[in-house]
Structure 1
């Protein structure tokens, strides 16, 4: 039985496997731990991962990236509409309201769903794991963001099925980080919990988790997140800054050229990394567009100044997580920072001022999620014996049921009376099972709601039954 954990990121993916001596993050065919989340369609074959990233510059309109931002979301989603503006490939609305990706493959125009493309990527990651284990891989755990809706979670499961995988558990990425942090600790308290705040600032989003640790136990107290605050937003700020500068100085508009936009975005990402360790960074690109060489320079102070709208949003998920956990800043004993976007000095400064203590980096910022996923898979698998460690996860949204009252329950047109009840309150531990009994003599429908909004965009389950006594069991929400 395979014990594998997949961290499917917006930019890169990692694969961790359990061996007798512990958890290993395995290498791909290019001897890299990180595999780019890119699928490039060519005239004779498709290129996935590192090969896909190498083909992006030559074939940008058929190179599919940002898969995690597309899967399970409706085309009309405002966040998706903002993302589309920076994507080099073509997306249209499908007949079911979800996006279709258009690419030229094997000499023909083809349309793929984001779930299909994600399945291709997962199949590649599965091959990496099988090559390292020398065995077939079926059972696994996959890390997902805490803000994923029900439809997005189901889309991940569908993509895993396409790849021939059987996920034992979809674990929240911040919970996987907390598990990888706490399971090896031998000095955890037995009475009063040790409260640790985990801040994961990745390529496209920010997630916050406050967890309480006791000996052999992890309890997730609260979650906070910003779906559109990550490293790529800082890249976009630099891109817009230099695009405007080059439009003025060199009379070129890179936004009108897909290859030029990709090259400038790649250069801005490198520039951001240089600014993380240096006060000033230069930008030089040969033949960016119209055979013109461009150059520029930016100081870290200027970069932070143009990034103020992004930096102002960092505190909101922190405040929400603290509020939902019912804790004060003094109750948080440690702050752990992970994720590629957390290396921006301005973010560390904000976190230090907010918590009143320096954030720690005791974990590998890129590998902690995949390691936590593999550990969760090992806990669920009978193949490995793992130290006794309980994980009490919580769901970040409330789940309620809504239905129309029966004619016998109301008068004066009361048949249309809408009734609802909260089944799983916000912060409810998962997995959970509850049984509800409805007494009805005719056909009726029950809608599942998340929070205050009916889950039309998050996967409504309309339950239709005809009986005098119907019991609905909602398990593993």
Structure 2
């Protein structure tokens, strides 16, 4: 029984063992496994080994593919992501997204779901070797902003990988569980809950949520996110800054050479991390960078913050929106916890403290808390010996609508699952329609979930049919249309 944090840059696997939670080492004796799949003339390479050969096999090394999971080729988000990827991305015959690589001397294409399944298979096999046993069950996490189609795509990938997933858990729920499970200072259920704000800024996204804790129970109250605001975006702005500097200084354009630009981003990330603990001017030196030319530059924290101001404004907006949606005052918040590598950026820490009027706390392991929470949830669902029950009340992160006529705008749709409503959730909604066919779409704000058609129910001219739909959202955050019932209503 394991928990998996499938990240955009790295994956972590955790297991409940001897009354505690341990993060499992991979075959390189590292806890972090690179979210990278590579293809060569002889074999397929996964994880750390794939990341290590990226520079020499750039176009056949697939990384940062998680944001593409579950999107259709013509979605705006996909077209924006294409500019950030050094490998070839093509439309899949299903309408989704695929990558094209040269594998064993042949050009082949794989859907993003299949690439994800390859990585998950590698994680599973490596973990089984380390734990010396078969993995029967797991819980895997997804970001709060993942839409229904994205969750279904991950579900499909786990099936291809032969994994039995007990639950697809939201990252806010996973982190909150890792925080609250072992705490002995949580209030009783009849007392005021402990309200905790969590800020998770990772490689590709920002998530902020508020969770109320009581003994043996957690309830997510609200959540805000910025799906395209993470560490890589800070790296990109700093990278473009140095591209401009190097063009003036050396008359070269690193951004026009994918391999050189990737080297630049790698060095920029190192400097960015150093700036978290050092406010002085720091050097950036790269030997044999482009056309065998050595390059150098420097930057300080204050200059970096000026360059990244647009991103910091986005962080501030997301933090403020979360506080506003929670309907809580800063005095009602007991603590603010940070996770995710990019929350180490001093300017982000300052914004968090300023808005929530609390010093940030690092109770949790900033990189491993998602995997640890998933492992705990897997043990709870499996009713493992020695594991106490802990109720996790998650929320719906997107409102869900049934749309039958988009041209009518608000008169042509009806909300059936509210934003921030509890999940699992079920309800019945009633429509009064004429005719013996009801065609509609189910949508969330960012994606279409599916087309539906209910046909051949009894109808006579002039009659109105009362159509009742039983809808719901399961614990995986996936929409279900469970039943449709038609009631004949003759006004005569």
| TM range, smaller chain | over 0.9
Number of the residue aligned with 1:460: 450
Task: Please give the residue correspondences for 1:79-94 in structure 2 after superposition, counting only pairs within 5 Å.
Answer: 79-94=77-92
CA contact (8 A) 2:19 2:387 kept: no
Task: Please give the residue correspondences for 1:201-350 in structure 2 after superposition, counting only pairs within 5 Å.
Answer: 201-279=201-279, 280-350=281-351
- What is the CA–CA distance in structure 1 between the aligned matches of 2:441 and 2:313, rounded to whole Å? 37
Deviation, structure 1 residue 343: 0.7
CA contact (8 A) 1:149 1:458 kept: no
Give a deviation string over 1:214-272, Cα, whole Å, max 9, x none.
11110100000001111111111111011111111111111222211111111111111
Query: What SS class does the counterpart of residue 433 from structure 1 fall into?
Result: strand
Q: Identify if the C-alpha distance between structure 1 residues 114 and 245 changes in structure 2 by more than 3 Å, giving closer, same or farther.
A: same
- What is the CA–CA distance in structure 1 between the aligned matches of 2:127 and 2:470, rounded to whole Å? 36
- What is the CA–CA distance in structure 2 between the aligned matches of 1:401 and 1:385, rounded to whole Å? 44
Say whether 1:100 aligns with 2:98.
yes
Deviation, structure 1 residue 417: 11
Deviation, structure 1 residue 18: 1.8
Give a deviation string over 1:358-410, Cα, whole Å, max 9, x none.
11011100000000011111111133442232111111222233347xxxxxx
- What is the CA–CA distance in structure 2 between the aligned matches of 1:401 and 1:417, rounded to whole Å? 11
Deviates more, 1:166-175 or 1:461-470: 461-470
CA contact (8 A) 1:403 1:418 kept: no
Number of the residue aligned with 1:60: 58
CA contact (8 A) 2:441 2:448 kept: no
CA contact (8 A) 2:442 2:448 kept: no
Give a deviation string over 1:101-124, Cα, whole Å, max 9, x none.
111111011111111101101111
Deviation, structure 1 residue 320: 1.9
Deviation, structure 1 residue 94: 3.4
Q: Identify if the C-alpha distance between structure 1 residues 461 and 194 changes in structure 2 by more than 3 Å, giving closer, same or farther.
A: farther
- What is the CA–CA distance in structure 1 between the aligned matches of 2:412 and 2:260, rounded to whole Å? 55
- What is the CA–CA distance in structure 1 between the aligned matches of 2:402 and 2:252, rounded to whole Å? 55
Number of the residue aligned with 2:443: 449
CA contact (8 A) 1:70 1:80 kept: yes
- What is the CA–CA distance in structure 2 between the aligned matches of 1:301 and 1:427, rounded to whole Å? 38
Number of the residue aligned with 1:428: 421
- What is the CA–CA distance in structure 2 between the aligned matches of 1:473 and 1:377, rounded to whole Å? 29
Give a deviation string over 1:438-471, Cα, whole Å, max 9, x none.
6777232243232xx5x7x332241434335865
- What is the CA–CA distance in structure 2 between the aligned matches of 1:132 and 1:417, rounded to whole Å? 55
Deviation, structure 1 residue 5: 0.7
CA contact (8 A) 2:441 2:449 kept: no
- What is the CA–CA distance in structure 1 between the aligned matches of 2:256 and 2:292, rounded to whole Å? 15
- What is the CA–CA distance in structure 2 between the aligned matches of 1:60 and 1:217, rounded to whole Å? 47
Deviates more, 1:69-78 or 1:41-50: 69-78
Number of the residue aligned with 2:47: 49
- What is the CA–CA distance in structure 1 between the aligned matches of 2:113 and 2:388, rounded to whole Å? 36
Q: Identify if the C-alpha distance between structure 1 residues 400 and 82 changes in structure 2 by more than 3 Å, giving closer, same or farther.
A: closer
Query: What SS class does the counterpart of residue 365 from structure 1 fall into?
Result: coil
- What is the CA–CA distance in structure 2 between the aligned matches of 1:199 and 1:370, rounded to whole Å? 16
Deviates more, 1:303-312 or 1:75-84: 75-84
Q: TM-score, normalised by structure 1?
A: 0.92
Query: What SS class does the counterpart of residue 55 from structure 2 fall into?
Result: coil
CA contact (8 A) 1:152 1:458 kept: no
Equivalent pairs, count: 462
Number of the residue aligned with 1:157: 155
CA contact (8 A) 1:175 1:209 kept: no
Q: TM-score, normalised by structure 2?
A: 0.89
- What is the CA–CA distance in structure 2 between the aligned matches of 1:324 and 1:244, rounded to whole Å? 40
Q: Identify if the C-alpha distance between structure 1 residues 439 and 458 changes in structure 2 by more than 3 Å, giving closer, same or farther.
A: closer
Number of the residue aligned with 1:354: 355
CA contact (8 A) 1:282 1:298 kept: yes
Deviates more, 1:257-266 or 1:434-443: 434-443
Deviation, structure 1 residue 434: 2.1
Query: What SS class does the counterpart of residue 31 from structure 2 fall into?
Result: coil
CA contact (8 A) 2:91 2:98 kept: yes
- Structure 2: state its 5+ residue gaps: 459-465, 480-492
Query: What SS class does the counterpart of residue 297 from structure 2 fall into?
Result: strand
Say whether 1:401 aligns with 2:399.
no
CA contact (8 A) 2:443 2:449 kept: no
CA contact (8 A) 1:221 1:394 kept: yes
- What is the CA–CA distance in structure 2 between the aligned matches of 1:463 and 1:17, rounded to whole Å? 44
Number of the residue aligned with 1:186: 184
- What is the CA–CA distance in structure 2 between the aligned matches of 1:119 and 1:147, rounded to whole Å? 21
Number of the residue aligned with 2:74: 76
Number of the residue aligned with 1:36: 34
CA contact (8 A) 1:38 1:65 kept: yes
